[in-house]
Structure 1
Amino acid sequence: MTHQEESQENTTTKHEQLTLLFAHYGRAIYVAQVLEQETINMVAIDEIVTTQPESETEYDTIWAKYDNSKKMMGIMTSLLQQAYEIDELDMEELKALLALKTDLANIYFRFNDLTVATGADADRMISDFVGFNQRVQMINEKLSLYREAYNTKTGVTAEQHAAAYAARKEEFQGSTVL
């Protein structure tokens, strides 16, 4: 094999490795965003259940309040813990994952420079993303149990949840969001 062929093969291998790395990174960001939105949805649903808004405006105000407070995740997680009676250890894990989501989105590559990354570095980063995704999956399974217990306690049905989300989706029909 000539030096040029070897160099081209190394470039292809590096490109494939980066493609795989970004696929795992993209999935980690996606599942993190879904986790964050699910916590917001759970808190909003709790307020809807407890306040019983009488008008579309009141209903929309509840969703808008939580949509606009994504940066106040500490307050949101406290409300979530109270409403859904989430265990302290599970709450700590949820908060840690939400903080990691922010780090992944904002500073992860500041400390993991892809321009000088070796194959071992890329493997470690992929491992970071896979581990994160597994942790999110585990906390999502636990949140599902908390939602079921909440629904039983409050009498909220799956149909009511579906109706709330359908109404929410209708708000965004025709917008650039969907």
Structure 2
Amino acid sequence: MDIQPLLDHFNQLSAEEQTKEVYAHFGLAVYFGQALEQQLANMLIFDQLFQVKPATPAEYTAIFEEHAAAGKPADILAVAAQLAYQLSDEDRDELRRLLVSRRFLADSYFKVHAQRLLQPELKSQIVADFVGFQNRCRQLHGQLQQYQQQYVQRTSVDPELLQQTWATVVRDAQRTLSAMA
């Protein structure tokens, strides 16, 4: 996505509208990062389910919970995805960078760059950072979908089994999120 028209529009807004726009783009950037992280968790869950073939609900739940928490370092997650889905080194490295960036955005971006928000001429740089991150997440999302398709073809996973597994993962994700609320 070309961000120049977005920045041109942004620069025409009042200072108050610009601040609102910065936070809107921040929310989108964090969302895209979380969506990428969830996509990766789902990929790793699928791989383990098809490799381990859990025999009991407890074994299944253990696999799900291992990846649902997203507490593992980005390097470990990226290497696990590379091994399971045969990611290129470039895609593995981009995945790692995006996971690290997502955590930075959510935890520290405004602590480190607070002065940018207070200086009108630097607010557009914040928007550019967030939109650039969103674009990188979108691009990698598409790449990961291709790896998933190749994985399904390579492993000859039955499409019906894949659908059943996906439905189970979604159900358990909803259950886990409800329990945390």
Q: Which bin holds the TM-score, normalised by the shorter protein? A: 0.7 to 0.9
Mark the structure with the bigger radius of gyration: 1
Partner of 2:136: 135
Matches within 5 A, 1:15-30: 15-30=16-31
What secondary structure sits across from 2:14 in the alignment? helix
| TM-aligned CA distance change 1:107 to 1:92, over 3 Å | same
Partner of 1:124: 125
Higher helix proportion: 2
State the alpha-carbon separation in 2 of the partners of residues 166 and 116 from structure 1.
42
Q: Count how many residue pairs are aligned between Structure 1 and Structure 2.
A: 167
Matches within 5 A, 1:1-178: 13-113=14-114, 117-171=118-172, 172-173=174-175, 175=178
Shift of 1:96: 0.6
State the alpha-carbon separation in 2 of the partners of residues 123 and 115 from structure 1.
9
State the alpha-carbon separation in 2 of the partners of residues 39 and 45 from structure 1.
10
Per the normalisation by structure 2, the TM-score is 0.83
State the alpha-carbon separation in 1 of the partners of residues 84 and 73 from structure 2.
17
| TM-aligned CA distance change 1:167 to 1:99, over 3 Å | same
Percent identity between matched residues is 28
Name the aligned partner's letter for residue 128 of structure 1: D
CA-atom RMSD in angstroms: 2.2
Structure 1 window deviating more from structure 2 (156-165 vs 93-102): it is 156-165
Contact 2:74-2:100 within 8 A present in 1 as well: no
What is the CA deviation profile of residues 62-107 of structure 1, one whole-angstrom value per residue up to 9, with x for unaligned ones? 1012223523332222111001000001111111111110110111
State the alpha-carbon separation in 1 of the partners of residues 133 and 116 from structure 2.
23
